[in-house]
C-alpha cells in the first residue's frame, strides 16, 4: 500500500488526476487494448474529474480508448434525476471528454431484472480483461460504494438495501426529505474492487480521518493533511518521508509510476541532500 | 435496425451556454434541427455524435429574434410591384439569409400603414415558415404596424392610408383581408393606437385570432394605455418613439412602465443610440428590466453601404452604419442598426449583464409571442438556432435549424 499525503483537497485532486493521466499514457491504450477505469461518484472525486477534464482540453489526454465502469447507482431513481449517478457522471465528467458512449458503463437502477443487470456488469468487466485502475472514495465510516462496513470482502456486484445511516446522510441531496431517498442501490462488491489491478482511494477532510486510520490495505491512497488527523504522527511522517526519500535520494526518474523502484543509484552528495537532512552540506572545493 | 437510421447528432463542445439566466461551461447536442437532451442521447443511443464542433470557449446564445424589420438591403417589405410576388418572395429570402450574419435567426417582416389592397396581396406571402441555411432566418409571421394609428403620431407612415374602425373588429379584418374567426393568416403582431375609434374594443378579438397586440404610433393617455393592456395588449411599439413624451402629470404610454395596477407590458426599443437617448433607455430598463425587447425597426437602407440611395421615391443618404437621413430635409429616415449592434449598445447603455442583454433579443420576444418552448432559449426541445459570440458580443458564427451558416 502507498499512502500519498497532500496539503489539501486541491492538491489531492491534482495528484490523483495526474496519476491517472500518467497511468493511461503509460498504458498506451488502443481500441484492441483499452484502458479500463473504475469510477466513483460523490464529493471526493469531483476535483479529480475537473483536473482530468482540464488535461483533456489541453490535448494531453484522450479517453477514446478508455472504458469506464461506475461503482453504483440508486434503484428506481429516474436516470435523468439530478441526483442520479448517471447525471453526476454526465455533469462532472462524461460531457466534457471524448469517451465513447458505448464505453461508459453505469449500472442501470431501473433495469427490469436487477440481478441480471448486476451479473451482466460483472461479465462486461471480465470481458474487457478486468479493471486496470479502480478509483474510489470512502465514506466517514469506511464504506466504499454502497458496501457498508462489514460487507463481505468477496462480495460482487449486487442489489443492496441502504443502511438507515446512509439514507439519513443522503437525504441532504433530496431536499432533506428522508422519504425521497431511494431505499436500494446497485453496487459493485468489495471483491469487484479488489480484483482490480490497482485501487486508488481519495480521502479528504477531517471527517474521514477515522476511516483512513482503519483503512483497508492493498491500495494507493491519496489524502489531504486533515484526513491524517487520526493516524499516528509516526505513520504520517513515514509516508510523507518515503516520497521525499524516493524523490531526492533515488531520483523520480528511477521510481515507477506504481511505486516500484527501477534502479537504485548510489546517492551522491548534492545540495538537494542538504535540504533533506536539514544541515548545510559543506563542499570542500567551491566552484565559481 | 433503428440504430442505423438514427439521424445524425452534432455535439458542440467548449461552449459557455446561456441557460436559465446563468452562463455554464457546457456542451450542446443537436439533432433534426432541435436541441436534444445530451444525457439521454449519451446513455441511450450508445453511439458517438456524428459531428463534433469546438466552440473554443465562445458564448453560445439562442439565435436573436427581431420582431420589427421593415426591410433591408435595399428591399422594402411594404412594397410589392404588380405581379411581383415571385420577386418579393425571392427578395425576402435574400434578406432572411443576410440577417443570419447578424445572428438574427427569426424575424417578423413588418408592414407600415398601407392601402387595403397591399395587405391583401402581401400578407399571404408572409406566412410563418421555418428557417434553414438556404431560406435564411425563420419568418415568425408578419408584424402589421398600422393603419389603425394616430394621425398625430404617424411618423413616416403615409397619412392617406390611416384608418379608423367604427365597426370594430370587422373593419380591421376587412382592411387586412383576414377572417373574423379563424387564425388562418400570417399576422402575429399588430401595432395599433387604442384611442383610434373602434380599436379599443377590437383588442380582445385580435388576440382571439392569434394576434399579439401592441400599442404604438399613438397619443393614448396612461389611462387609455392601461385599459388597452387590460383588454389584452402586451407590447409597446418602439418605446419613446411615436408617442407622447413623458410628462410627470400625464406620463402617457410611457407611464405603463410605472403601473402597479396591472401587469406591465413588454416594450420594444430601438437601440441605435439615435432613436432613443442612452439615458432614456437606461430609465426604461431600470423601471422594467424583464420587459425590454430589442428591435431594429430596420428600413431598406439597413445593410446597404454608406452613401446615397433611392428608397421608393425618396433619396436618402446613409452616414456610417447607424444613421440614414432624407437628403432633401436632413430628417432621420429610419433605423439601420443591426440586431447584434443593438445588443452591444443595450449592454453599454443600460449597464446590464451579458445574459440580460441577450435575453432582451431572445427570451423576451419569444415570451411575448408565446413561442418560448421552441425559441429564445437553449432548453431541450428548442429549435437549434444558435449564435456564437465573443465577450464583446460580436457574432462569430450562427446556426439555423442545426445547420452552421
pLDDT at B362: 97
CA dihedral B274, B280, B282, B284 (to 10 degrees): -120
Residues on chain B touching A85 (C-beta within 8 angstroms): none
B248 in a structural domain: yes
Same domain, B215 and B256: yes
Same domain, B363 and B218: yes
Least confident of B21-25, B140-144, B357-361: B21-25
Same domain, B75 and B33: no
Overall number of domains in chain B: 2
Say how far apart CA B94 and CA B310 lie, in whole Å: 19
Here the cell at position A152 is 463481505
Name residues 34-63 of chain A within 8 A of B (Cβ): 57
Same domain, B83 and B39: no
B366 is in an annotated binding site: no
Say how far apart CA B369 and CA B66 lie, in whole Å: 12
| Partner residues linked to B143 by β-bridges | B110, B189
B333 is in an annotated binding site: yes
Partner-chain residue, chosen from B26, B27, B48, that has the shortest CB–CB distance to A101 = B48
Partner-chain residue, chosen from B26, B27, B47, that has the shortest CB–CB distance to A101 = B47
Same domain, B29 and B167: no
Q: Where along chain A do its domains lie?
A: 2-231
pLDDT at A46: 96
DSSP letters spanning B197-216: TTTGGGHHHHHHTT-EEEE-
pLDDT at B80: 85
This prediction's pTM: 0.87
B72 in a structural domain: yes
pLDDT at B1: 40
Same domain, B20 and B109: no
What are the catalytic residues of B? Answer: 297
Give the model's confidence band at A219: pLDDT under 50 very low, under 70 low, under 90 confident, else very high: low
- Note whether A100 contacts B: Cβ–Cβ < 8 A: yes
Same domain, B293 and B149: yes
Same domain, B128 and B195: yes
Q: What is the CATH number of the domain that holds B49?
A: 2.30.40
Tens digit of pLDDT for each residue in B351-386?
999 999 999 999 999 999 999 999 999 999 999 999
B298 is in an annotated binding site: no
B275 is in an annotated binding site: yes
Say how far apart CA B363 and CA B356 lie, in whole Å: 10
* Distance from the B44 Cα atom to the nearest Cα atom in chain A, whole angstroms: 9
Same domain, B57 and B142: no
Q: Which domain holds residue B18?
A: 9-61+390-404
B242 is in an annotated binding site: yes
Domain A2-231, CATH 3.40.50.1360 — does that match?
yes
Residues on chain A touching B40 (C-beta within 8 angstroms): 79-80
Please list, residue by residue across B336-373, b when 16 or more beta carbons sit within 10 angstroms of its beta carbon and e when fewer do. bbbbbbbbbbbbebbebebbbbbbbbbbbbbbbbebbe
Same domain, B94 and B215: yes
- Average pLDDT estimate for A14-37: 96
Q: Which long-range CB contacts under 8 A does B133-136 form with residues at least 24 apart? A: B133/B400, B133/B401, B133/B403, B133/B404, B133/B405, B134/B97, B135/B93, B135/B96, B135/B97, B136/B93, B136/B94, B136/B95, B136/B96, B136/B97, B136/B98, B136/B99, B136/B100, B136/B400
Q: Cβ of B46 and A80 within 8 Å?
A: no
pLDDT at A215: 67
B381 in a structural domain: no
pLDDT at A25: 96
Least confident of B74-83, B112-121, B322-331: B322-331
pLDDT at B229: 97
Say how far apart CA A164 and CA B272 lie, in whole Å: 63
Say how far apart CA B268 and CA A180 lie, in whole Å: 45
Least confident of B74-78, B231-235, B397-401: B74-78
Nearest chain B residue to A105, by CA:
B43
pLDDT at B21: 79
Contact B140, B105 (CB under 8 A): no
Tens digit of pLDDT for each residue in A123-158?
999 999 999 999 998 888 778 899 887 788 789 999
Displacement of CA B246 from its chain's centroid (Å): 25
Tens digit of pLDDT for each residue in A106-132?
999 999 999 999 999 999 999 999 999
How many beta-carbon contacts under 8 Å exist across A and B? 35
Q: Cβ of B38 and A79 within 8 Å?
A: no
Tell whether the model's pLDDT for residue A279 goes beyond 60: no
pLDDT at B2: 44
pLDDT at B37: 93
Same domain, B245 and B343: yes
Partner-chain residue, chosen from A57, A80, A98, that has the shortest CB–CB distance to B39 = A80
Same domain, B158 and B21: no
Tens digit of pLDDT for each residue in B91-114?
999 999 999 999 999 999 999 999
Give the model's confidence band at B126: pLDDT under 50 very low, under 70 low, under 90 confident, else very high: very high
- Average pLDDT estimate for B296-313: 85
Q: Cβ of B39 and A87 within 8 Å?
A: yes
What are the catalytic residues of A? Answer: 72, 141, 143, 148
Q: What is the CATH number of the domain that holds B296?
A: 3.20.20.140
How large is the ipTM?
Answer: 0.83
DSSP letters spanning chain A: -EEEEESSHHHHHHHHHHHHHHHHHHH---SSS-EEEEE--SSTTHHHHHHHHHHHHTTS---TTEEEEESEEESSS-TTSTTSHHHHHHHHTGGGS---GGGEE---TT-SSHHHHHHHHHHHHHHTTS-SEEEEE--TT--BTTB-TT--TT--SEEEEPPHHHHHHHGGGTTT-GGGS-SEEEE--HHHHHTSS-EEEEE-SGGGHHHHHT--SS-EEEEEGGGGTTS-HHHHHHHHHHHHHIIIIIIGGGB-TTS-BS--PPP---HHHHHHHTSPPPPSS---
pLDDT at A245: 67
Give the model's confidence band at A270: pLDDT under 50 very low, under 70 low, under 90 confident, else very high: low
Q: Cβ of B42 and A102 within 8 Å?
A: no
| Strand B51-54 versus strand B9-19 pairing type | parallel
pLDDT at A283: 53
Backbone angles phi, psi at B41, to 5 degrees: -60, -45
* Distance from the A98 Cα atom to the nearest Cα atom in chain B, whole angstroms: 9
- Average pLDDT estimate for B265-270: 97
**Mean pLDDT across chain B:** 92
Percent of chain B at pLDDT above 70? 98
Amino acid at each position: 500500500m502507498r499512502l500519498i499525503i497532500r496539503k489539501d483537497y486541491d492538491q489531492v485532486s491534482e495528484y490523483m488526476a495526474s496519476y491517472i493521466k500518467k497511468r493511461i499514457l503509460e498504458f498506451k491504450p488502443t481500441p484492441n487494448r483499452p484502458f479500463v477505469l473504475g469510477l466513483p461518484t460523490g464529493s471526493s472525486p469531483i476535483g479529480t474529474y475537473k483536473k482530468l477534464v482540464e488535461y483533456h482540453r489541453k490535448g494531453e489526454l484522450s479517453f477514446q480508448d478508455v472504458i469506464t465502469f461506475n461503482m453504483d447507482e440508486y434503484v428506481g431513481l429516474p436516470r435523468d434525476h439530478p441526483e442520479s449517478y448517471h447525471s453526476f457522471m454526465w455533469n462532472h465528467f462524461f460531457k466534457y471528454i471524448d469517451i465513447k458512449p458505448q464505453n461508459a458503463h453505469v449500472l442501470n437502477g431501473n433495469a427490469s431484472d436487477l440481478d441480471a443487470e448486476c451479473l451482466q456488469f460483472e461479465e462486461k468487466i471480465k470481458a474487457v480483461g478486468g479493471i486496470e485502475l479502480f478509483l474510489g472514495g470512502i465514506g466517514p465510516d469506511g464504506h466504499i460504494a454502497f458496501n457498508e462496513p462489514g460487507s463481505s470482502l468477496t462480495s460482487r456486484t449486487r442489489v443492496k438495501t441502504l443502511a438507515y445511516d446512509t439514507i439519513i446522510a443522503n437525504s441532504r441531496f433530496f431536499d432533506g426529505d428522508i422519504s425521497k431517498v431511494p431505499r436500494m442501490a446497485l453496487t459493485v462488491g468489495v471483491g469487484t474492487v479488489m480484483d482490480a489491478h490497482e485501487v486508488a482511494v481519495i480521502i479528504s477532510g477531517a471527517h474521514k480521518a477515522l476511516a483512513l486510520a482503519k483503512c483497508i490495505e492493498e491500495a494507493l491512497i491519496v489524502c489531504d493533511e486533515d484526513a491524517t488527523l487520526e493516524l499516528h504522527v509516526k505513520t504520517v511522517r513515514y509516508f510523507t518521508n518515503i516520497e521525499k526519500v524516493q524523490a531526492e535520494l533515488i531520483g523520480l526518474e528511477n521510481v515507477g509510476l506504481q511505486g516500484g523502484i527501477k534502479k537504485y543509484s548510489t546517492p551522491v552528495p548534492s545540495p538537494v541532500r542538504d535540504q533533506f537532512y536539514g544541515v548545510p552540506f559543506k563542499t570542500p572545493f567551491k566552484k565559481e | 435496425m433503428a440504430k442505423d437510421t438514427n439521424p445524425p447528432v452534432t455535439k458542440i463542445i467548449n461552449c459557455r451556454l446561456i441557460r436559465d439566466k446563468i452562463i455554464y461551461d457546457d456542451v450542446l447536442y443537436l439533432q433534426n434541427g432541435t436541441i436534444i437532451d445530451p444525457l439521454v442521447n449519451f446513455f441511450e443511443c450508445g453511439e458517438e455524435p456524428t459531428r463534433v464542433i469546438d466552440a473554443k470557449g465562445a458564448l453560445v446564445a439562442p439565435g436573436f429574434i427581431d420582431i420589427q424589420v421593415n426591410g433591408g438591403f435595399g428591399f422594402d417589405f411594404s412594397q410589392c410591384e404588380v405581379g411581383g410576388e415571385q420577386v418579393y418572395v425571392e427578395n425576402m429570402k435574400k434578406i432572411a439569409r443576410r440577417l443570419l450574419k447578424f445572428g438574427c435567426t427569426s424575424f417578423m417582416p413588418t408592414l407600415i400603414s398601407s392601402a387595403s389592397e397591399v395587405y391583401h396581396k402581401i400578407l399571404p406571402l408572409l406566412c410563418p415558415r421555418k428557417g434553414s441555411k438556404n431560406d435564411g432566418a425563420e419568418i415568425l409571421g408578419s408584424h402589421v404596424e398600422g393603419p389603425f394609428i394616430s394621425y398625430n403620431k404617424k411618423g413616416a407612415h403615409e397619412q392617406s392610408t390611416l384608418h379608423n374602425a367604427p365597426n370594430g373588429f370587422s373593419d380591421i379584418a376587412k382592411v387586412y383581408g383576414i377572417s373574423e374567426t379563424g387564425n388562418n393568416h400570417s399576422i402575429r403582431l399588430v401595432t395599433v393606437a387604442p384611442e383610434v375609434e373602434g380599436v379599443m374594443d377590437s383588442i380582445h378579438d385580435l388576440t382571439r385570432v392569434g394576434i399579439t397586440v401592441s400599442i404604438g404610433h399613438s397619443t393614448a393617455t396612461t389611462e387609455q394605455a392601461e385599459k388597452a393592456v387590460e383588454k389584452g395588449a402586451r407590447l409597446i411599439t418602439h418605446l419613446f418613439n411615436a408617442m407622447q413624451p413623458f410628462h410627470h402629470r400625464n406620463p402617457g404610454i410611457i407611464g405603463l412602465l410605472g403601473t402597479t395596477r396591472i401587469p406591465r407590458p413588454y416594450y420594444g426599443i430601438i437601440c441605435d443610440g439615435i432613436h432613443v437617448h442612452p439615458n432614456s433607455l437606461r430609465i426604461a430598463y431600470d423601471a422594467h428590466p424583464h420587459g425590454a425587447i430589442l428591435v431594429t425597426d430596420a428600413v431598406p437602407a439597413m445593410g446597404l453601404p454608406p452613401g446615397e440611395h433611392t428608397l421608393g421615391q425618396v433619396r436618402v443618404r446613409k452616414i456610417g452604419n447607424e444613421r440614414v437621413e432624407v437628403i432633401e430635409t436632413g430628417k432621420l429616415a429610419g433605423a439601420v442598426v443591426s440586431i447584434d449592434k443593438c445588443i452591444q449598445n443595450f449592454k453599454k447603455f443600460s449597464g446590464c449583464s451579458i445574459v440580460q442583454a441577450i435575453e432582451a433579443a431572445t427570451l423576451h420576444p419569444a415570451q411575448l409571442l408565446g413561442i418560448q418552448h421552441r425559441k429564445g432559449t437553449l432548453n431541450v426541445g428548442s429549435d437549434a438556432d444558435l449564435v456564437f459570440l465573443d465577450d464583446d458580443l460580436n457574432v462569430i458564427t450562427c446556426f439555423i435549424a442545426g445547420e452552421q451558416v
